[in-house]
Structure 1
Amino acid sequence: MNRAQAAFRAHPYISNVVGYTALFSCADLFQQRVLRRQDSSAGVDWHQTARVATVGFCFHANFNYQWLRWLERMLPGGGVKAVTGKVVVDQLVAAPLTISAFYIGLSFLENKDNLFQDWKEKFWTSYKTGVVFWSTMQAVNFSLVPPMARTVFLGGVALVFTIFLCHLRQQDHKLE
């Protein structure tokens, strides 16, 4: 544990971004192997996982690292008022951006004709589910996790939510 703490202290940006990206892409692997594929002999779509990792690295990990630093500067501390403020601002600003980046980014990487189709069909379901899930997880993050490790903690939590997003994205029907 001391080595991990030393790495986070010495290289917080790299540790957080690499950790987040690894966890983010593992969500797609899990979704493929457990949720999507009923046939256990089916292989992993590594191109799909690479696309998820690309969106995770290019946007999510970097955005979240900077976002969490900014939130801590604007609303410092772990008291009830600061944590509540961070959670509310996070859900009103970051949540729509990150969900949009997920759907639109993957559609872009897949060269889809309509980059906004998945987003239009699945944004509100994702956002409503995320408000409940992320409000709780961010309250834990902002009150218990040291600022230097918040992005990688978020990556661990994002693993669960990204499994949901990847699974939802694979659904062909329109959700209300």
Structure 2
Amino acid sequence: MSKIWKAYLRLLEKHPAKTQIIQTGILMSTGDIISQVGVEKRPVKEIDWKRNGKFSAFGFFLAGPAVRAWYNALDKIIGPLAKRAALKKMAADQLFFAPSFLTIFVSYMALTQGGGKQEIIQKLKKEYLQILTTNYKIWPAVQMVNFYFVPLQLRILVVQVISLFWNTYLAFVSNKE
């Protein structure tokens, strides 16, 4: 094991909530930067830092705490690692958490882009179904592996590694003109 990995595990053990929330914000920010530079082909000098700040704030203040609380609740309600438990957790995640979380994400993006109630409704009509459909193509398989094989304290990290690509996609879709 590398020194960095060991240091991360010590930090995770000592400060689990802070570590998971901070990594979520950092990786959401990174996903937006990848979207701006890699997908939208902006020069690095033209990165929209205000947009990036909004995206990372969502990770720090909404996504990080929400996902952490959700995973802890799933483990308490459904139980730890097991085939049947993993299937139940994935189903609950995709039937309840994903649709509501994505509604909050799209609404947040509309609000932070200066929109009001009408703009939120328009953005939901325009983007929500596309994002949710794409979610269902990726996340059920990821979550089955995550819930079946990964211990609770590392689940957010697994999700955030995959989310690096997912956040790049979300940043692109939510900021299309």
Fold match (TM-score > 0.5): yes
Report the Cα offset of residue 42 of structure 1.
Answer: 5.5
* Alignment check: 8 A CA contact 1:17 1:152 kept: no
Equivalent residue for 1:21?
Answer: 25
Report the Cα offset of residue 86 of structure 1.
Answer: 0.3
Cα RMSD (Å): 1.5
Equivalent residue for 1:111?
Answer: 114
- More helix per residue: 2
* Alignment check: 8 A CA contact 1:24 1:53 kept: yes
Write the mapping of 1:26-65 to structure 2, written as runs, cut at 5 A: 26-37=30-41, 40=43, 43-65=46-68
Report the Cα offset of residue 153 of structure 1.
Answer: 2.2
Asked if 1:85 is matched to 2:88, the reply is yes
Write the mapping of 1:108-147 to structure 2, written as runs, cut at 5 A: 108-113=111-116, 114-147=119-152
2:70 aligned residue (58, 67, 70): 67
- AA matched with 2:136: V
* Alignment check: 8 A CA contact 1:20 1:156 kept: no
- In 2, distance between residues paired with 1:14 and 1:41? 29
- In 1, distance between residues paired with 2:30 and 2:124? 22
1:10 aligned residue (10, 14, 35): 14
Change (3 A) 1:49 1:85: same
Equivalent residue for 1:157?
Answer: 162
TM norm structure 2: 0.90
Task: List runs of 5+ in structure 1 lacking aligned partners.
Answer: none
Task: List runs of 5+ in structure 2 lacking aligned partners.
Answer: none
- In 2, distance between residues paired with 1:116 and 1:23? 28
Runs of 4 or more consecutive aligned structure 1 residues displaced over 3 Å after TM superposition? 39-42
Report the Cα offset of residue 20 of structure 1.
Answer: 1.1
* Alignment check: 8 A CA contact 2:37 2:44 kept: no
* Alignment check: 8 A CA contact 1:78 1:142 kept: yes
Residues 90-138 of structure 1: per-residue CA shift (max 9 Å, x gap): 0011101221121111111122142222221111111111012010111
- AA matched with 1:24: M
SS of corresponding position for 1:116: helix
- AA matched with 1:148: Q
Identical residues among aligned pairs (%)? 19
Report the Cα offset of residue 40 of structure 1.
Answer: 3.4
SS of corresponding position for 2:115: coil
